Amino acid sequence: MMLEHPLLSKTSGTLDDVEFSVFESLVEKLKASNADQIIGLHQGKTTFTPCPDVRNWKDGEFELAHNTHAPPQGIKSLKEAILKEHINRGRHDFTLEQMMICSGATHGISMATQSVLNPGDQALILSPQWLFARGVFKACDVDVLEAPLFLELCKNPDLDIYGYLKEAINPRIRLIYFNTPNNPTGYSMTRKQLQTLVDFCQDHNIWLIADNAYEYYDYSEDGFIDARDLEGGSEICFSVYSFSKSYIMPGYRVGYVISPQSRAKDMKKRGLFSVYSIATPSQFGAWQALQTPQEKLLVQRNETLSLAKMTEKLLDVPHCGFSGGFYFFLDLSRMGEKGIQEFYNELLTQGISLAPGEAFGAGMGNYARLCFTAVDSDLLKRGISVINDLYQSKI
Ligand SMILES: Cc1ncc(COP(=O)(O)O)c(C=O)c1O
């Protein structure tokens, strides 16, 4: 009998148990609602104006013409501008060779994973996590385990992180991925907690990926800290940054990775042999974004904090607290499984959406993520009021 297609590889099924984004069906349901106003609080986005302008540039303004391709590690003037940013913030313990411009944090995480893991190795995600993290690791043919450290830290910031991780690992785990300030819990790890994480990885020969997508929106006492800047961090940590949230330009697909010196050359090859290089107009956009006046960035940062404070004040649903990012992670457990389903459905008929917790990791079904920067403050207030009323009616 003829096969319908050539034989498949053993790894062709690695994504079979990974779902597409749940957001697609939510958007369809929102569209179908008869509500007079749609208040989408499910997606991680902001209403701020994008930092760069889409435009061509004159000869001499930028290093390359728009139609020429960029070097695999990124355009020098963009990399220098990023380095300058790090120097301004007192963090510059790396060379330009260690910096790799990538197609958003997503591409950076993927390349870093492939640079250090073998197919079949395990990666541990400190959950709950950014909704595509698991899929990115699975696409690298890596097995994924999750340990809900961020949820535990929300309940008990004094948790013994070293002991917790010791319980969570096994000899096949060779990489830990985490994101702070954390999407979706809003928890930001302290310097001491991050140092414990770095120490643990050093002691157990485990690579670390620090996803720093929300670096500009950290309101914790210690402020944003990159794990690679801590003692022992630079040899084991891939620090991944994104222009998507900092400069409101997710569609440009620009981010960068600062790699351990030992992997810098390999990362350059991974860039070259995956996408060749990031589109020159996108890199120009990122370079432009870095010239954004500090005042605009400060307005974004302050506005985010005031929306977070307003949400915290108005919201009657228990949640994980807030010290950074764009989100509140709501604890819906008092409603029970059936109540939670009805809650989502009734919200949708009223034109309001939340992101269901299970999108952010195993065992998160009792939670929902609310993005408080996704709509303007009047709509947010309206949305929270409906969420509160519905929650009260179901507990
Ligand atoms: C924690 C986290 N990491 C990574 C990403 C993806 O970033 P990028 O658009 O740079 O690929 C997101 C986007 O929402 C995120 O929240």
Give, using CA atoms, the residue closest to atom 7 of ligand 1: 105
Fold of domain 76-289: Aspartate Aminotransferase; domain 2 (3.40.640)
Amino acid at the residue 118? N
Longest Cα separation, the chain: 69
Nearest to 116 by CA among 146, 139, 140: 140
Ordered by start, the domain boundaries in the chain are 13-49+294-394, 76-289
Q: Measure 248 CA to ligand 1 centroid, in angstroms.
A: 12
What is the 241 CA–ligand 1 centroid distance (Å)? 9
Q: Say how many Å lie between the CA of residue 1 and the centre of ligand 1.
A: 46
Looking at ligand 1, which residue's alpha carbon is closest to its atom 10?
104
CA of 278 to the centre of ligand 1 (A): 17
| Residue having the nearest C-alpha atom to atom 14 of ligand 1 | 44
Residue bearing the CA closest to ligand 1, atom 4: 105
Nearest to 175 by CA among 197, 191, 190: 197
Q: How many CB atoms lie within 10 A of CB 92?
A: 13
Instruction: Check if the beta carbon of residue 216 is closer than 8 Å to that of residue 235.
Output: no
126 DSSP 8-state letter: E
Question: What count of Cα atoms within 13 Å lies in the side-chain half-sphere of residue 263?
Answer: 26
CA-179 nearest atom, ligand 1: 1
Question: Cα(211) to centroid of ligand 1, in Å?
Answer: 8
| Per-residue model confidence (pLDDT) at position 2 | 65
Mean pLDDT, each 10-residue run in order, the chain (395 residues): 80 91 90 92 97 93 95 97 92 92 98 95 98 96 97 98 98 97 98 98 98 98 97 97 98 98 98 97 98 96 98 98 98 97 96 97 97 98 98 96
Q: Tokens 């079979």 identify what position?
A: 16
Superfamily of domain 13-49+294-394: Aspartate Aminotransferase, domain 1 (3.90.1150.10)
Q: Any residues with Cβ below 6 Å from ligand 1, and which?
A: 44, 104-106, 130, 179, 183, 211, 213, 242, 244, 250, 255
Given ligand 1 and candidates 109, 126, 131, 183, which is best to mutate, with the most ligand atoms within 8 Å of its CB?
A: 183
Q: Please tell me the distance between residue 280's alpha carbon and the centre of ligand 1 in angstroms.
A: 21
Q: What is the pLDDT of residue 1?
A: 59
What was the pLDDT predicted at 185?
98
Ligand 1 center to 34 CA (angstroms):
32
Ligand 1 centre and the CA of 213: distance in Å?
6
Instruction: Give the pLDDT confidence score for residue 298 in this predicted structure.
Output: 97
Q: Hey, how many other C-beta atoms are within 10 angstroms of the C-beta on 12?
A: 9
Q: What's the pLDDT at 10?
A: 82
CA 250 → CA 76, 111, 279, 347, distances in Å? 22, 19, 14, 27
Show the CA angle centred on residue 242, arms to residues 237 and 248, nearest 5°. 160
pTM of model > 0.75: yes
CA of 256 to the centre of ligand 1 (A): 12
Give yes or no for a contact between 374 and 40, defined as CB atoms under 8 angstroms apart: yes
Q: State the DSSP string of 1-63.
A: ---SSSPPPGGGGTTTT----THHHHHHHHHH---SS-EE-SS----SPPSS------BTTBS
Q: Which of 214, 242, 254, 371 to mutate to test the pocket of ligand 1 (most atoms within 8 A of CB)?
A: 242
Residue nearest to atom 16 of ligand 1 (CA): 130
